[in-house]
A and B are shown apart, each in its own frame.
Chain A
Amino acid sequence: MNNISIGRYIPYNSKIHRLDPRLKLFSMILFMVMIFLRFGGAQTNYMDFIVYGFIAVIILIIMAIAHVKLSLLFKQLKSLWFVVLILLIINLLMPNDGPYFLIFNTLKIYHKALYDTAYIFIRLVLMISLTMILTSTTTPLDLTYAIEWYLTPFKIIKVPTHEIAMTISIALRFIPTLLDETDRIMKAQASRGVDFQNGKFREKVKAIISLIVPLLVSAFQRSEELANAMEARGYNPGAKRTRYRILKWKWLDTIALVLSLSLFALILYVSIAKIDIVVLISGLLG
């Protein structure tokens, strides 16, 4: 019930924490693209795993610098086993060809089904670690500043960028509050005999209602209070606003940008040129 620290900002003072949020957002997108590329020739599939291993090592290094604990990642992955199971079942049921082995002498297990499952799973793990690095090293407010900055060009076509950014930042700001609220209401209802874990379907539905209704009521109440407070202090979305925190590009950011761009170029080249490390090395040796 407690320990909902997943996806939360964790205040350390590492190099990664101090990087410009715009850069962090951009680099994360680059990494995501890298993860979605395909590598190696059509027949050989080990290249995917070699490149993913390489990216994983880099992500691990970044996590170490950023004080993001592996245990936190595992905690999050624990809730993923169900997804993996479903993936595996779907892949096993898919019509396939190629090499296979038999279990119980009847069930055909195609190598490709196992391979596909592992492939999707690794991608998922990599993406989760990336978002975790971003959210645990960047305050929600900084993240919105970054998003707003990227949206600036759209101002020309009258996209209300400031309002969008404000909405996002308020939403992010209230996630921990709502989680605390959920925890509190669950405890209050548990004191009145609600069992959130066990029970028949009907009881479960009632339990959920007893949580959702007060949560919604208090969320609406909060939003009204916030709106009133903002108006009382003269908030006007159309007005030009200055900012308390001004994003400053530093040397470290340039270095990080160059690093991520070169990594991206390298991976992109490996993908497009269909480079196969094994062939490459045996070619060099022989």
Chain B
Amino acid sequence: MPINFDHVFYTYSKKTPFEQVGLEDINLSFNDYKFIALVGHTGSGKSTLVQHITGLLLPDKGVVHVDDYVITPKKKENKNIKKIRENVGLVFQFPEYQLFEDTVLKDVAFGPKNFGVSEKETIERAKSAILKVGLDESYFERSPFDLSGGEKRRVAIAGIIAIKPKVLILDEPTAGLDPQGSKKMMQLFCEINKNGTQIIMVTHDMDLVLEYADHVLVMKDGKVAKESSPLDLFSSSDYKELSLDYPCVFAVATELIKKGMKIDLTKIKNLDTLVEEIKKGRDSYE
């Protein structure tokens, strides 16, 4: 779904001593990419940016286009926001705080029900979403408040997946999950992505960026500091000035290259491909 930002400005607590720049002159177009990573320093405006896509924050100046809908600074002009939210699902940073129903199933069904999906399909969608996020049937009737933090996170994510949005925005979905769990979660997102849902993911983990994203957006002080493919970002030295980390797999590979091994960085995406490249390099080394 086409998403465009046109000279968008946003300031928190405007005209008070607490004034804080959120976004500054953002111009973007998300049309051509399937998996977009949004990275940047803490407080650089990533969460602010994604909240503009679903009209949770209205710009002070400028316009956001989502498909055929327009989000403008004036509250009264934005009548179609609910339609946008049906098409663009947003999973918040720490979404576990949004649970409120007495059973997990009901809570996951809450979203689709609000968007007018029929009762029967709602239940079906909710059940399949819960299974997808890696919980089993025994969770359907449990209270969401008795779950562990990670399980709550899964339920909250299922609650958005059940809406079946065309664009899925994830604000640091794997923060605080165990390595296995976060890997499973990423596999799920990858699968959803392959089935045609565009994904915009906020993250601090550069290895995830390298492995999954086909486009990276680096934010700094409320502005877009750089837009490129992950490979371009990490091959140039820009990433250092933007205070980003270097992906671990790249760090290992560059060390080996320095030692004289022939490794093709462009082929490396994750641990498995790194191992493969090292094997190839080793053969040529000997």
A interface with B by C-beta (< 8 Å): 2-3, 5, 10-12, 71, 181, 184-185, 187-195, 209-210, 213-214, 217-218
B contacts with A, residue count (CB < 8 A): 30
- A-contact bits for B75-111, CB 8 A (1 contact / 0 none): 0000000100110011010010111100000000011
Is A188 a contact partner of B18 (Cβ separation < 8 A)? no
Is B114 a contact partner of A193 (Cβ separation < 8 A)? yes
20 extra A-B contacts, CB within 8 A, seeds A11-B17, A192-B110: A2-B13, A5-B16, A5-B18, A12-B17, A184-B97, A185-B98, A187-B56, A187-B92, A190-B85, A191-B89, A192-B98, A192-B114, A192-B160, A193-B82, A193-B85, A193-B111, A193-B115, A193-B163, A217-B100, A218-B97
Task: Tell whether A191 pairs with B54 under 8 Å between CB atoms, given A2-B12, A3-B13.
Answer: yes
Is A209 a contact partner of B85 (Cβ separation < 8 A)? no
A-B CB proximity, top 7 nearest:
A193-B114, A188-B98, A213-B100, A192-B111, A191-B90, A187-B56, A193-B115
Residues of chain A within 8 A (CB-CB) of B85 are 190-191, 193
Within 8 A of A (CB), among B1-53: 12-18, 51
Residues of chain A within 8 A (CB-CB) of B113 are 193
Is B82 a contact partner of A195 (Cβ separation < 8 A)? yes
Tell me the bound Cα distance from A170 to B12 in angstroms.
Answer: 26
Task: Tell whether A191 pairs with B12 under 8 Å between CB atoms, given A184-B92, A209-B100.
Answer: no
Whether B159 sits at the interface, judged by CB under 8 Å, is yes
Task: Tell whether A192 pairs with B159 under 8 Å between CB atoms, given A10-B17, A187-B56.
Answer: yes
CB nearest to B15 among chain A residues: A71
Instruction: Return the contact of A187 from the options B13, B16, B51, B89 (Cβ within 8 A).
Output: B51
7 A-B pairs (CB sep. < 8 Å): A11-B17, A187-B56, A187-B92, A188-B92, A191-B85, A192-B111, A192-B163
CB nearest to B92 among chain A residues: A188
Tell me the bound Cα distance from A220 to B232 in angstroms.
Answer: 48
Instruction: Return the contact of B56 from the options A190, A210, A217, A218 (Cβ within 8 A).
Output: A190
Residues of chain B within 8 A (CB-CB) of A12 are 17
Residues of chain B within 8 A (CB-CB) of A181 are 97
Is B100 a contact partner of A191 (Cβ separation < 8 A)? no
| Residue of A181, A210, A218 contacting most chain B CB atoms (<10 Å) | A210
Is B159 a contact partner of A210 (Cβ separation < 8 A)? no
Residues of chain B within 8 A (CB-CB) of A11 are 17
A174 CB → nearest B CB, Å: 16
Whether B140 sits at the interface, judged by CB under 8 Å, is no
Task: Tell whether A188 pairs with B95 under 8 Å between CB atoms, given A193-B163, A210-B100, A213-B100.
Answer: yes
Tell me the bound Cα distance from A3 to B12 in angstroms.
Answer: 8
| Residue of A10, A11, A190 contacting most chain B CB atoms (<10 Å) | A190
A78 CB → nearest B CB, Å: 15
Residues of chain B within 8 A (CB-CB) of A194 are 114
Whether B145 sits at the interface, judged by CB under 8 Å, is yes
Tell me the bound Cα distance from A35 to B17 in angstroms.
Answer: 31
